[in-house]
Amino acid sequence: MFAWKTDQKEKYRTKGRIAAALICSVLAGALVGVCSLLFAQSNIGYAMFLSYFKNPYILLFNLLPPVLLSLFFYLLTNRAVIAFLLTNLVVMVPTLVNFYKIAFRGDALVFEDLTLIGESKKMLETYKLFWNDRITLYLAVLAVCTLLLAFFVRGRFRRVLPRLVAALALAVAGGCLAPLYTSGTIYDEKTANDALINPYSDTQRYISKGFVYPFLHTVKDAFHPAPAGYDENSAKEALAAFADEKIPEDKRVNFVCVMLESYNDFSRFEELTFTRDVYGKYRELEKMGYSGTLVTDIFAGDTRVSEREFLTGLPFSRIDNFVTPANSYVWYMKQNGYFTTGAHPCYAWFYNRQNINKNLGFDEYLFSENYFADLTGSAITYDARFFPMLCELYTTRDKSKPYFSYNITYQCHGPYESQNAYFDTPYVENKGYSAEAETILNNYLNAQRETTELLYKFALDMLDTDEPLVLVFFGDHKPWLGNADSVYHELGINIDTSTEEGFLNYYSTRYLILANDAAKKVCGNDFSGEGETLSVSLLMNKVFELCGYGGSAYMQFTSAQMKETPVIHRTADLRSDALRSYDDVTYYYRKNFVYDK
């Protein structure tokens, strides 16, 4: 009888120890999550660390994975201390990699980076790791908790099968949480934490949500599934039917391309009655060159899409994070002996250009941080200074190599002030518009007027040279004009994309290709006339066509497609018979880098 009571007591003690071990595993996992948040704040400061605890979604989505991992490893190993160490390994190693990556490159760790082991080793060789108080604190916590768990938390399951079944059930339950971590709504809305950051910085938005959560959110972006019915051999053969054509040395011209932020010719809208000329000088430039309608895949924002479609020739569905070197026309120009450069008079972290532009093949790229701010004393350089600086960069360049320059303006970037007017008199007759709509519209047009005048002078100054030069100008997208497109609606502009008129009103801008006399002579083309309506991804094809260049094998393939379908929009069915081969080849081309680094 006494033996029976002893056995019962021992069973209760065992269960108590297991319960204590489970509770301690939960607490230990949560502690690992808090340690991760300590490093996730990066260089923004402890105010960011404290902000994580003010948003329950951020706290939950960052602590839940390490808690589940800690429980899983405990069930798997039957040792709380081993579970704690394994959880630290899985969570804190990438946390520290992210910490150093942001410190060195201003670029957060994404899931796709896990494939770049070689690049990571090179980064460690390039940068010198540093120590700070957070690392000391973390190692102290790690040591103390390891000792406590090793000596005082020793509860263990006696039977293996229930433990492993519970581990499997926990793993399945964790997998069921995946939709919460990939949800765009939760990421953009529920976990918004913008008070201490610039919301236009992808890296700072990432930091504002911790580390574990935003890192897991990027898993969905790491996989680029092949199109339905994709045949790699057929795609490879279709592309192999063409071969890269070199640009003959005696046919080389210099290129200066400028993507104009939110630049659009609003005088084309019959609904508006202009009282002052805004676009007259731009129309004069169009008469001097080859121009047409450009169909974008974006509206009022996400400039990076138009930018990277133009540089790569890839359609919307292939525009991604470009965390590795990616085929582009920049690489092609570089392989043909061109010096590839460009400029954006704003922050280098904007759309992660400081890192992505290297992967697209640029020899150098100038930003506020590494060029403009020192010369202008301003974080953002507007067109009045930017265009003359571009001109100077061109005239003082190393002339031993042909020149390819791709640049982006910042002026006209929305949103536009709705209360304070920056114009003396309205540019458009008020036909009953609200005061807010009138102010937004005319503030936008005021910036457009200045850009137009400066662009006109810039073009004439640039073309006044004996060296062959081709200029390419285009707008990246229509401007933001009020929340929910309110100003467009007040103006009576049709932006119903189910109609052809509304679709073009919503998605189209203009492109303009100009050449000086020397370039016209070299290329045997007068670069004049009204061109066809094109997708942004096909604009470089038109530039090369006017220059008389065949271009890369990929460009030749897409040029053949352009003759059949000059507009390939994000809304198009790429698996239709007319576009299936195009869809397969663009996927193959995006996945297989072909140039020498």
Residue 293: CA atoms inside 13 Å, Cβ hemisphere, count?
A: 13
How far apart, in whole angstroms, are the C-alpha atoms of residue 68 and residue 92?
15
Neighbours of 507 (CB within 10 A): 24
Mind listing the pLDDT tens digit for each residue in 543-580?
Answer: 999 999 999 999 999 999 999 999 999 999 999 999 99
Whole-angstrom CA distances from 60 to 22, 34, 67, 130, 513 are 19, 11, 10, 30, 53
Query: Average per-residue pLDDT in the chain?
Result: 92
What are the respective helix, strand and coil percentages of the chain, to the nearest 5?
A: 55, 10, 35
Mind listing the pLDDT tens digit for each residue in 92-113?
Answer: 999 999 998 888 766 788 887 7
Kindly state the average pLDDT of the residues 429-453. Answer: 96
How far apart, in whole angstroms, are the C-alpha atoms of residue 66 and residue 212?
9
Whole-angstrom CA distances from 482 to 263, 414, 417, 488 are 16, 10, 10, 8
Neighbours of 65 (CB within 10 A): 23
Phi and psi at 94, nearest 5°, equal -65, -30
How far apart, in whole angstroms, are the C-alpha atoms of residue 141 and residue 147?
10
Kindly state the average pLDDT of the residues 391-405. Answer: 97
Pick left, alpha or beta for residue 445 (phi over 0 → left; psi -120 to 50 → alpha; otherwise beta): alpha
* pLDDT score at 366: 97
Phi and psi at 260, nearest 5°, equal -95, 120
Provide the whole-model pTM. 0.78
How far apart, in whole angstroms, are the C-alpha atoms of residue 233 and residue 119?
29
Alpha carbon 84 to its chain's center: 36
How far apart, in whole angstroms, are the C-alpha atoms of residue 103 and residue 427?
47
Is a pLDDT exceeding 60 seen at residue 188? Answer: yes
CB 305 within 8 A of CB 321: no
Whole-angstrom CA distances from 436 to 339, 430, 489 are 46, 12, 13
* pLDDT score at 107: 72
How far apart, in whole angstroms, are the C-alpha atoms of residue 390 and residue 342?
9
* pLDDT score at 323: 84
- Find residue 292's DSSP bridge partners: 511
Kindly state the average pLDDT of the residues 488-507. Answer: 93
How far apart, in whole angstroms, are the C-alpha atoms of residue 559 and residue 555?
6
How far apart, in whole angstroms, are the C-alpha atoms of residue 125 and residue 102?
16
Kindly state the average pLDDT of the residues 339-346. Answer: 97
